[in-house]
Amino acid sequence: MKTIFLLKYGELTLKGRNRRDFENKVIKNAKHVLKDHEILVEKIFGRFVIKTDSTNEEEIKEIGYKLANFVFGLSNVSIGVIVENDFDKINEVAFEQAEKFIEKHDPKTFKIEVKRPFKNMPGTSTKLAADIGAFVWGKLPSLKVKLVDPDMTIRVEILEDYTIISSDKFECLKGLPVGSSGKVGLMLSGGIDSPVAGYLAQKRGCYLNCIYFHSPPHTPQKTKDKVFTLAEKLKQYQQGIRIFTVNFTEIQLMLRKTTDMQYFVILGRRMMIRISNAIAKRYKIKAFITGENLGQVSSQTLENLHCMNSLAHRPILRPLITYDKNEVIEIARKIGTYETSILPYDDCCTLFLPPNPRTKAKIRQLEFEEAKLDFQSLVDRAVETVELVDL
């Protein structure tokens, strides 16, 4: 008997062509996440199913796990089997699914849930549920029927050509399919925040490219490796990931030499934005994503954020703006970036850090400092050094 995964979309309340595009993107992403498994995907109105001939319990579990944890745009997945649209067979298989569930979970209460999107069999869904329930209960009389919050729910979905019967249902990631909002540039450092910001942007349909600034030989190769490891983690949610590595050494040395050190961090950030503007133009990036958070560290004030926004040629999205640090850490742990992020290697921003960074910079003051540099040629040279890697 084929195992089947019944998948419901999340937030796809869109209509017409948009809806089809979104559905196609979710399906494409799901297929990519399952590229190591032999599967067949079928689209049915408002949902889709994935079939596999595999009888290997481990593999079936793994497919369910991947669908639940790596595909944005899905609401939930039920794992079950297919039967013909035939009442006797449906009863029999509902009972088998109940038995299987009982072996694993020892439920005391149960219910049968029937859905008939095509209304192709006689009777009402409630009547069908009662009939199947009576059959199952006849064979398993120790169970009690409980319609609200039972220990076991056997779901019967009667589709056009066949029926799906399932007992295991898992919540998926929700959100929008990666790619549906377009391509963005995640400013990825080795810290805790930016990978989480990237993940949340993916959740809203953004396809990530990463932009990473390093200052060799002052920042070690290990920091770069760490950033690449983080990008690999984010790659699990999309097809491939591109990293632009920018050499930031000359700029940092020049800032240190010529400008007032209390503006060092924010002037550096402004240079990052200028370089990112050039990358965005060349590679059709529609927005920037950062891990910035309001007031979390002294440089992240509204005044300082304004000094960056005012330069950016693309919107700067900051998914973590309202998050508490412990909420960010919780997500970082969930997506498996935390352990990498806390490795203690220097980032170019922790380098040369002034003792008192300016918390409320004024654009006028920054422009005064920037006038001491030939910043356009510094930016142009940095852009020339950009190293592009596709993981």
Question: Which residues in this chain contact Mg ion in the complex, by CB under 5 A?
Answer: 189, 191
Give whichever of 74 and 197 is closer to ligand ATP, judged by the CB atom: 197
Among Mg ion, ligand ATP, none, partner that 112 touches (CB below 5 to 8 angstroms by kind): none
Give whichever of 26 and 211 is closer to Mg ion, judged by the CB atom: 211
How many angstroms separate the Cα of 328 from the Cα of each of 69, 187, 350? 18, 16, 20
Q: Is 28 exposed, middle or buried (0-12, 13-18, 19+ CB in 10 A)?
A: middle
Among Mg ion, ligand ATP, none, partner that 199 touches (CB below 5 to 8 angstroms by kind): none
Half-sphere exposure of 312 (CA within 13 A, CB side): 22
Q: In the complex, what is the shortest distance from the CB of residue 290 to ligand ATP, in angstroms, rounded to a whole number? A: 3
Alpha-carbon distance of 271 to 265, in angstroms, equals 10
Residue 93 token pair: 């298989």
Give whichever of 82 and 366 is closer to ligand ATP, judged by the CB atom: 366
Task: Look at the block and give the residue holding tokens 């990052």.
Answer: 272
Query: Interhelix angle for 264-283 vs 375-385, to 10°?
Result: 60
Among Mg ion, ligand ATP, none, partner that 69 touches (CB below 5 to 8 angstroms by kind): none
Give whichever of 249 and 290 is closer to Mg ion, judged by the CB atom: 290
Give whichever of 81 and 192 is closer to ligand ATP, judged by the CB atom: 192
Q: In the complex, what is the shortest distance from the CB of residue 164 to ligand ATP, in angstroms, rounded to a whole number? A: 43
Instruction: Please tell me what DSSP assigns to residue 191.
Output: S
Give whichever of 27 and 192 is closer to Mg ion, judged by the CB atom: 192
Closest residue by beta carbon to ligand ATP:
191
Q: In the complex, what is the shortest distance from the CB of residue 223 to ligand ATP, in angstroms, rounded to a whole number? A: 8
Long-range pairs, 58-65, Cβ under 8 A, ≥24: 60/3, 62/37, 63/5, 63/34, 63/37, 63/39, 64/5, 64/168, 64/170
Q: In the complex, what is the shortest distance from the CB of residue 84 to ligand ATP, in angstroms, rounded to a whole number? A: 54
Q: In the complex, what is the shortest distance from the CB of residue 280 to ligand ATP, in angstroms, rounded to a whole number? A: 14
How many angstroms separate the Cα of 80 from the Cα of each of 49, 51, 64? 10, 10, 11
Q: In the complex, what is the shortest distance from the CB of residue 262 to Mg ion, in angstroms, rounded to a whole number? A: 19
Among ligand ATP, Mg ion, none, partner that 188 touches (CB below 5 to 8 angstroms by kind): ligand ATP
Q: Which residues form the interface with ligand ATP (CB under 6 A)?
A: 187-189, 191-194, 211-213, 290-292, 296-297, 299, 347-349
Backbone angles phi, psi at 38, to 5 degrees: -85, 115
CB 280 within 8 A of CB 313: yes
Closest residue by beta carbon to Mg ion:
191
Among Mg ion, ligand ATP, none, partner that 194 touches (CB below 5 to 8 angstroms by kind): ligand ATP
Among Mg ion, ligand ATP, none, partner that 132 touches (CB below 5 to 8 angstroms by kind): none
Instruction: Please tell me what DSSP assigns to residue 298.
Output: T
